[in-house]
Amino acid sequence: MGSPTQQHKTWTKIVTTTATSPSATTTTYTCSTDPTLIPLEALSAAFASEFIYWSKPLTHAQLQTLIQNSLCLSLYHEQELVGFARLITDQLTFAYLTDVYVLPAHQGKGLARFMMACLDEIVSEWDEHLRRLLLFTRDAEAAKLYKHTLRAQDVRETGTGKLICMERVGGGNTFKAPDH
């Protein structure tokens, strides 16, 4: 969240792939919380793609607002934006995780797990005061990832039976409720 005193964090992951040839290749990925590095054109293209099915295209001004009011983790290969996640948060007591993706060409390399481990490092610093980190997913594999990396639990499995999830659906929602 755009505070000038906030220190941005950066992590690096080296992925080694072995092809059928005798030589292995290594690829370096960087995850950063620095919002000034985020290329708006690439983020806009991702949000407009069918791959990011939950999003609609946003203008650069709207993306700037989104970035300024969130803590963003951006994943880069060289200087290309290949993954993204953002927390809507006060950076102390509450966080809502949304817009998590890794582009298809970079999937299968443990990069989503890497991004969530980076995110967990940040959120763990807030543990003393953190009341809740929330996220929504329709993907069972993603739920397993969040459970493993963020220690997130399906509220149906917590046993408290006290959390009521409610929503107000706005025009930016790409999911349509079934007609009854």
pLDDT (tens digit per residue) in 7-60: 899 999 999 887 666 778 899 999 999 999 999 999 999 999 998 888 888 999
Q: What is the mean pLDDT of residues 84-106?
A: 96
Dist CA 163 CA 158 (whole Å): 10
Dist CA 38 CA 83 (whole Å): 11
- Residue 95 parent element (H or E): strand 94-102
Dist CA 112 CA 142 (whole Å): 9
Count of structural domains, the chain: 1
Tell me if 97 is assigned to some domain: yes
Q: Are 66 and 86 in contact (CB under 8 A)?
A: yes
Q: Determine phi and psi for 172, rounding to 5 degrees.
A: -80, -5
* Statement: residue 163 has pLDDT above 80: no
Predicted pLDDT at 80: 97
Token couple for 127 = 């543990």
Token couple for 131 = 């009341």
Tell me if 142 is assigned to some domain: yes
**Strand 94-102 to 132-135 pairing:** parallel
Measuring CA to CA, which residue among 69, 61, 138 is closest to residue 100? 138
Predicted pLDDT at 144: 94
Predicted pLDDT at 168: 77
pLDDT tens digit string along 50-89? 988 888 889 999 999 999 999 999 999 999 999 999 999 9
Predicted pLDDT at 106: 96
Tell me if 180 is assigned to some domain: no
Tell me if 67 is assigned to some domain: yes
Predicted pLDDT at 169: 75
With cut-offs at 50, 70 and 90, classify the pLDDT of residue 1.
Answer: very low
Dist CA 2 CA 36 (whole Å): 10
Query: Which residues, at least 6 apart from 172, have a Cβ–Cβ distance to it below 8 Å?
Result: 56
Tell me if 31 is assigned to some domain: yes
Tell me if 173 is assigned to some domain: no
* Statement: residue 159 has pLDDT above 90: no
Residue reference for tokens 């929503």:
167
Q: Which domain holds residue 100?
A: 10-157
- Residue 120 parent element (H or E): helix 111-124
What CATH code is carried by the domain that includes residue 43? 3.40.630.30
Predicted pLDDT at 156: 75
With cut-offs at 50, 70 and 90, classify the pLDDT of residue 2.
Answer: very low
Token couple for 7 = 């220190």
Q: Are 73 and 86 in contact (CB under 8 A)?
A: yes
